[in-house]
A and B are shown apart, each in its own frame.
Chain A
Amino acid sequence: MSLPPFEQVVQEHGPRVLSVCRAMVDAADVDDAWSETFLAALSAWPDLPTDLDVTAWLVTVARRKCIDIHRLRARRRTDPVADLPEVVAQGAESDDEGVWRHVAALPGKQRQVITYRYLGGLSYAQIIDLVGGTEAAARRAASDGLKSLREKEIR
């Protein structure tokens, strides 16, 4: 199976990413957060596993971009010339994207729970609404998943 044209991803997920950005950054930064998210996603797109959970992955990228914007704003408040550290952020980010490749390789339930918990920021109660089962089972799946990620020396 091959990856669909990225335009499809933008059309399908554009609105959801926009909601995430609106929830996380000031109105003036929403455009930037949205564009940065899809630019990063476009850059990574050809190398992603075809069975990736695209929704969860994009929501994560969007959250990370929003956090970057907050950091940048905070730096600007304290240091008016700190406008450059974008390059450093880029390197950190590609490492981060590598993590999600390992996440994508986890067994189905672990992958879903980890994605919703750590990417989507959902509570276990919300997670079992989506994946079914009990909260205890979801916690166990998350803990097993994290364990095998740690074995791959991933944060």
Chain B
Amino acid sequence: MTTETGELARLRAGLAARADDAGLLDIAYRVVDSPLGALLLAATERGVLRVAFASEGHDAVLADLADRVSPRVLSAPRRLDEAARELDEYFAGHLREITVPIDLRLLTGYRREVVTALPRIAYGDTASYAELAALTGRPRAVRAVGSACANNPVPLLLPCHRVVRSDGGAGGYLGGLDAKRTLLRLEGTEAGRTVGP
């Protein structure tokens, strides 16, 4: 690393801190390593706004957030410290429930209701799309539940990986089927052991 690169890194870190103090840091983000590959974590002052897998293209996700929420976006790890720590512990098998505040402003209406209901499926359990539809009080909205899960802005934090097909198949997952199986296996779920390719 050249001195100039080091100096710019230091200046950028200082800028992120000052922007946060000045209320100008609308979206802070950082990228963390995980057993599922690099994860992008982005948060507003209210909470975590987005968790994105590498396959989604982190730059594309940030551009989308700039467009939909605010272009005041900076790499600012501090705001994501707690989320990163909880995810680490979760992946290590030490934490069963993630509790960091979440900002669901990207969702409205029924999709929001669906992802809000996800934590009712306990660690180590699964529910079918139909069961989740019933949990939200709309037992026939199975298809809408499927698309709400597929568009969950905060996977892992809100456990859409615990929603599986009623025939025992894993169903889709934004992070890929392997990621979903890894998570179910981590949680010691029956489906994680039995789901085929």
Contacts and interface: CB of A to CB of B under 8 A. Distances in A.
Contacts of A42: 15, 19, 24, 72, 74
Interface in B63-98: 63, 65-67, 70-75
A129 interface: no
A5 interface: yes
A46 B73 CA distance: 10
A137 interface: no
A17 to B, nearest CB: 9
Nearest to B11: A34
Contacts of B7: 18
Given A14-B8, A39-B22, A39-B24, A6 B14 contact: no
B11 A31 contact: yes
A7 interface: yes
Interface residues of A, number: 19
A78 interface: no
Contacts of B46: none
A35 B16 CA distance: 9
B66 A15 contact: no
Contacts of A31: 11, 14
B167 interface: no
> Dominant SS at the B interface?
helix
A69 B62 CA distance: 34
B18 A10 contact: no
A5 B73 contact: yes
A39 B4 contact: no
B12 interface: yes
A18 B11 contact: yes
Contacts of B15: 10, 34-35, 38-39, 42
Given A5-B65, A6-B73, A39-B15, 6 more contacts: A4-B71, A6-B72, A10-B74, A38-B15, A45-B71, A45-B72
Interface of B: 4, 7-8, 11-12, 14-15, 18-19, 22, 24, 27, 29, 62-63, 65-67, 70-75
By Cβ-Cβ distance, the 8 closest A-B pairs, closest first, are A5-B73, A3-B71, A5-B66, A2-B67, A5-B62, A14-B8, A7-B74, A42-B24
